[in-house]
């Protein structure tokens, strides 16, 4: 199996982080290909590498798998440990992963990922705060109901659900979002994952800049 993963800039591409993190967590060999992209707008120039003209896209001996949630399922077919073993826990993990994949648009738009920033933060608009509150609720309830034993991730051991929420952990860190103790501890657990730190260090070395994402210091109270 020859795997190639096409991703966007590490500094900005939250969607790409999910697939990359799963592969690195599993120590699966793959070849990384970076394309210049910010956001998820349709880009016809990417049609040759992804059927939906977006990244991430995984190639398995040339066969394309796009969308981060589909890539996760594809990897889990050979690595079932990516989902919790217990039936109800697995169902809950799929539920919250799908919710993360399809939702929280207000949070995404208000707090784009830019790993080179560490901002003082500000009070969130009501729609953004609802997204934040729901994520905190998911993290808190999941840790209490399924993650109390066997590890510090949502379901104890690292799973697809953790990869799906990994970009949110960075967003909460970048924009200095206040969190209750359980949610803050889980955020820190994600940020300390060795592959997350590897991604972060690579992002800091990137030189490509996108002004729309780089001019947020004044809006969010400047740098910490």
pLDDT at position 6 is 97
Can you name the residues that pair with 119 across neighbouring β-strands?
223
CATH number of 83-205: 1.20.1050.10
Q: What is the pLDDT of residues 184-220, one digit of tens each?
A: 999 999 999 999 999 999 999 999 887 766 677 667 7
Class of domain 3-80: alpha beta
Domain boundaries, the chain: 3-80, 83-205
Q: What is the pLDDT of residues 151-187, one digit of tens each?
A: 999 999 999 999 999 999 999 999 999 999 999 999 9
Phi-psi region of 79 (alpha: psi -120 to 50; beta: other; left: phi over 0): beta
Kindly state the percentage of the chain with pLDDT values over 90. Answer: 79
Cα-flanking dihedrals φ and ψ of residue 7, to 5°?
A: -135, 165
Which H, E and C letters describe 46-102, residue by residue? HCCCCCCCCCCEEEECCEEEECHHHHHHHHHHHCHHHCCCCHHHHHHHHHHHHHHHH
- Element (H or E) spanning 23, and its range? helix 14-25
Q: What is the pLDDT of residues 126-154, one digit of tens each?
A: 999 999 999 999 999 999 999 877 899 99
Arithmetic mean of pLDDT over the chain:
92
- What is the C-alpha to C-alpha distance for residues 95 and 112, in angstroms, rounded to an integer? 24
Residue 161: C-alpha distances to residues 78, 79, 120, 149, 220 (Å): 17, 14, 28, 17, 29
- What is the C-alpha to C-alpha distance for residues 149 and 131, in angstroms, rounded to an integer? 27
- What is the C-alpha to C-alpha distance for residues 97 and 159, in angstroms, rounded to an integer? 10
Can you name the residues that pair with 32 across neighbouring β-strands?
5
Residue 42: pLDDT band with limits 50, 70, 90: low
Number of neighbours of residue 123 by Cβ within 10 angstroms = 8
User: Region 74-102: what's the mean pLDDT?
Assistant: 97
DSSP-derived secondary structure letter, 44: G
Quote the distance between the C-alpha of residue 216 and its chain's center.
20
Which H, E and C letters describe 118-150, residue by residue? CECCCCCCHHHHHHHHHHHHHHHHHHHHHCCCC
Measured in residues, the chain has a length of 224
Kindly state the percentage of the chain with pLDDT values over 70. Answer: 94
Residue 39: pLDDT band with limits 50, 70, 90: very low
Is the distance from CB of 82 to CB of 104 less than 8 angstroms?
no
């Amino acid at each position: 199996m020859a795997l190639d993963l096409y991703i966007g800039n590490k500094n900005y591409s939250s969607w790409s982080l999910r697939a990359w993190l799963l592969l690195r967590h599993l120590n699966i060999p793959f070849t990384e290909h970076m394309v210049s992209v910010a956001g998820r707008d349709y880009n016809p120039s990417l049609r040759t590498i992804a059927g939906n003209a977006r990244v991430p896209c995984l190639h398995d001996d040339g066969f394309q798998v796009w969308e981060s949630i589909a890539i996760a399922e594809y990897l889990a077919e050979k690595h079932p440990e990516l989902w919790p073993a217990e039936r109800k826990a697995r169902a809950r993990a799929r539920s919250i992963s799908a919710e993360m994949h399809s939702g929280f648009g207000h949070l995404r738009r208000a707090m784009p990922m830019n790993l080179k920033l560490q901002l003082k933060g500000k009070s969130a608009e009501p729609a953004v705060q609802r997204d934040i509150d729901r994520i905190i609720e998911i993290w808190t309830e999941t840790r209490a109901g399924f993650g109390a034993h066997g590890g510090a991730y949502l379901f104890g051991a690292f799973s697809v659900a953790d990869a799906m929420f990994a970009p949110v952990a960075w967003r909460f860190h970048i924009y200095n979002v206040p969190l209750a103790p359980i949610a803050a501890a889980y955020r820190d657990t994600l940020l300390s994952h060795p592959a997350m730190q590897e991604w972060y260090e690579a992002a800091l070395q990137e030189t490509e800049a996108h002004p729309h994402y780089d001019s947020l210091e004044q809006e969010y109270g400047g740098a910490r």
